Structure 1
Amino acid sequence: MTGEPIKPKSAGEVDSAKAEARKGGPLPEKPSASEDIAAFVAKARAMSPHRTGARGRLVFALDATMSRQPTWDMACALQADMFREAASLGSLDIRLVYYRGFNECRATGWISDSAQLAKLMSKINCQGGNTQIGKVLSEARREAVASAVRAVVFVGDAMEEQVDDLCAKAGELGLLKVPVFMFQEGHDPTAEQAFREIARLTGGAWCKFDPGAAAQLRELLRAAAAYAAGGREALLRLSKTTGGAAALIGQMK
């Protein structure tokens, strides 16, 4: 299984779509009204996202357009480090979200084993297409409500959407207290501006790594996993020994 497409659904299908989302099914693209957001915030505050014994949940989102193939292969090799870092703190479930090609955006179910995630990722080839970061943020928002997502990681090098639309979605995640860690490969100024703002609005962090720099990306992924598994205190401890964690904690609210 390589994930199911994220696509719009009618209002009558919302309940079934939420159930499908938890197992990797098609996901709705639905704008939220102000009362809808208020309900989500109330539910989020009732949750204890880093309660003792709880499994950490991390949405791991990747740009899988054609230019991303080298970094996709690198992320596939490094993803086990996220699980290893989390294992020292508790446990971690990851939901992989990726977009590629013409309007294709897919999400897997929750994965708790690094070998399973690596096998799945190895079957996915990058394809040319435009960015779909808005769909990634919408999916993260749904999962934040459905299954208490603790953090979102996004790895990409471009942004080709309306930045104000992305900021609106990011703001909703900020209300739900779900930080987004925006990891930018390369030096595109348009992407940097958008990624920084998404991180700021969610209480997350933006970091840039050099093209093909596996060591830099490894540190960033480990830091995000530490936060998802153990919260801010775990990230603070890790920041004493790794530069990636220090870069994240220095930006987070």
Structure 2
Amino acid sequence: MVDSPSKPRSSPVTSSGDDVRDQRLPDAERSSADAIAAFVAQARAMAPAAQGSRGRLVFALDATLSRQPTWDMACALQADMFREAAALGSLDIRLVYYRGFNECRASGWISDSAELARLMGKIDCRGGQTQIGKVLAEARRHATAAGIRAVVFVGDAMEEKVDELCAKAGELGMLKVPLFMFQEGNDPVAEQTFREMARLSGGAWCRFDPGASAQLRDLLRAAAAYAAGGRAALLRLAGSEAGAALLIGQMR
């Protein structure tokens, strides 16, 4: 657990007049370089997106207090996702984050890295439990309506009912929306759950070292390439990016 920032940043709210759309999500429905090499879950082969088409990606982050260092790191790295996608077409990202007591919010669709960085820079991490179920429910709502191609989740813990999360992950798999579960640290409960969620969704799991910006950057770039151009894009990126090579190496 890290200390909270000495100068907290305010969270965007819908009523503030801010031009970034932000909404509180409803409750979930019932129903190291070496570490990166630990990609173990397989992802179903999906039809690649057409060259020049727009990809849509849900970028979900645990913003509880222990996550502040990685949140700041993700703020610095998120532009790489847009840059990678630009070679294939373009990318729209919907930021989803949870923190504090029962707070889970989502932005509108963002197509500009500066806008995403501006939004993330206004958010401070706060203590609280995980709310991964809400993230999955949000992704499912947009899977068909908005045509999302993948969900990226970055977190270090899991404090919810495993079977419920796995059921939602399986539903995303049926909708051909893979979960890329990027785990910071070594929590065994989180690892077991994230691995299974990735498997059920047809996605991938990987652990990265705390503070390892190069590892996280490669993973985010690979996920963005997949969202923008499918499996074929990952194959092209794998020639120069370790994250993409490790990911595509586990795909059927």
Gaps of 5+ in 2: 1-19, 32-46
TM-score by length of 1: 0.83
Is residue 203–residue 252 contact of structure 1 (8 Å, CA) maintained in 2?
no
Q: 1:1-253 maps to which residues of 2 (within 5 A)?
A: 1=20, 3-8=22-27, 29-31=28-30, 50-253=49-252
- Following TM superposition, the consecutive aligned residue runs of length 4 or more in structure 1 with deviations greater than 3 angstroms are 29-32
Give the match for residue 15 of structure 2.
Answer: none
Partner Cα distance (1:185, 1:31) in 2: 27
Please give the per-residue CA displacement for 1:156-178, whole angstroms capped at 9, x wherever unaligned.
00001111100000000000011
Partner Cα distance (1:131, 1:186) in 2: 15
Please give the per-residue CA displacement for 1:91-145, whole angstroms capped at 9, x wherever unaligned.
0000000000001000000000000000000000000000011111111111111
**1:31 to partner: Cα distance:** 4.9
**1:182 to partner: Cα distance:** 0.3
Answer 1 or 2: which has greater helix percent.
1
Please give the per-residue CA displacement for 1:24-46, whole angstroms capped at 9, x wherever unaligned.
xxxxx4456xxxxxxxxxxxxxx
Q: CA RMSD in A?
A: 1.4
Partner Cα distance (1:73, 1:5) in 2: 22
Gaps of 5+ in 1: 9-28, 33-47
Give the match for residue 36 of structure 1.
Answer: none
Which amino acid in the other structure matches residue 79 of structure 1? Q
Partner Cα distance (1:134, 1:96) in 2: 15
**1:49 to partner: Cα distance:** 7.4
Please give the per-residue CA displacement for 1:66-112, whole angstroms capped at 9, x wherever unaligned.
00001000000000000000001110000000000001000000000
**1:252 to partner: Cα distance:** 3.1
Which amino acid in the other structure matches residue 171 of structure 2? E
**1:52 to partner: Cα distance:** 4.4
Partner Cα distance (2:239, 2:197) in 1: 26
Partner Cα distance (2:183, 2:165) in 1: 16
User: Comparing 157-166 with 238-247, which one deviates more in the overlay?
Assistant: 238-247
Is residue 2–residue 120 contact of structure 1 (8 Å, CA) maintained in 2?
no
Please give the per-residue CA displacement for 1:171-199, whole angstroms capped at 9, x wherever unaligned.
00000011110000011111110111111
Relative to 1, partners in 2 of residues 1:49 and 1:169: Cα closer, same or farther, differing over 3 Å?
farther
Give the match for residue 16 of structure 2.
Answer: none
Which amino acid in the other structure matches residue 229 of structure 1? A
SS in 2 for 1:224: helix
Aligned residue-pair number:
218
**1:241 to partner: Cα distance:** 1.8
Partner Cα distance (2:52, 2:212) in 1: 34
**1:2 to partner: Cα distance:** 6.9
Partner Cα distance (2:147, 2:62) in 1: 23
SS in 2 for 1:50: coil
The percentage of aligned residue pairs carrying the same residue is 77
